[in-house]
Amino acid sequence: MGKPLLYEILEKPATSCVIGICSAIWFYIQKKNIGYSHVGLSYETSIEGHHWRIITSAFSHISVLHLVFNMSALWSLGVVEQLGNLGLGVAYYLQYTLVLVVLSGVLVLGMYHILIQRFKVEYFRRVTAVGYSCVVFGWMTILAVKQPSSKLDLFGFLSLPISFAPFESLIFTSIIVPQASFLGHLSGIITGYAIAWGLIHGMNNYWGVSMLGWTALMFVFSLKRSGAYDFNFLEIESVTDPSLPSVRFMASD
């Protein structure tokens, strides 16, 4: 008999919070009838300055099945929070989740850029990536390197050896769900290997909070500059170099 759900939630607090956030966003999107094209990440919207979509795309999902599949995999991968003896744990999980969200989004845009500009594959100009699967694939990869004897449990009945799970899942989802973002999943795997092999390292609470602060700041500026949301208290003016923003906080009347 398994552990009570409440006990497991307390053992995986960060994972539980992420699942709660993604679920709440899904309900909000459904209630407001917001299309995934309005929150998803694409090359075309990125060159228009919608860099905030790197964040919104990761936490948004197209359908309830999309949400359930990603959250089920994430719940299983939440075991990372319990592996403090391997140098992982809750703090590690939170710090590198942020890294996975941001870097996998930037990496997929880089892939789009190369395919469009170098190889003239215009198809990728409008392809929209959405969902938390880039982070799921990242953690799957990290766990495959750090704890290769683990298993990935999906829906309580499907179990995959974690050492093969990243590429098995990449191929499986591409066949079963052709519209799934292959490059988005691949970017999560690449970023996951970079973290697991120590190519990206040195994150601690200071750098984690600093990165979170800069990410939040750029998120707000990007929303403002792209016109997606009007922050009345904030005005962005060009300085000597038009590409560099000057920020001014407006006093309320």
Ramachandran assignment for 154, one of left (phi > 0), alpha (psi -120 to 50 degrees), beta (any other): beta
Q: Which DSSP category does 129 fall into?
A: B
Residue owning tokens 């799934």: 180
Paired with 247 in beta bridges are: 236
Q: Identify the bridge partners of residue 158 per DSSP, sorted by sequence position.
A: 154
Q: Does residue 133 have an active-site annotation?
A: yes
Residue with tokens 């799957």: 140
Residue 219: closest CA among 210, 229, 209: 229
Phi, psi (degrees; rounded to nearest 5) at 181: -80, 100
Cβ partners under 8 Å of residue 59, min gap 6: 21, 22, 25, 132
Out of 16, 185, 187, 222, which one is annotated catalytic?
185
Q: Which of 133, 150, 187, 222 is catalytic?
A: 133
16 catalytic? Reply is no
CA distance 249 to 253: 13
What's the start-to-end Cα distance of the chain, in Å? 61
Q: Which residues are designated catalytic?
A: 133, 185
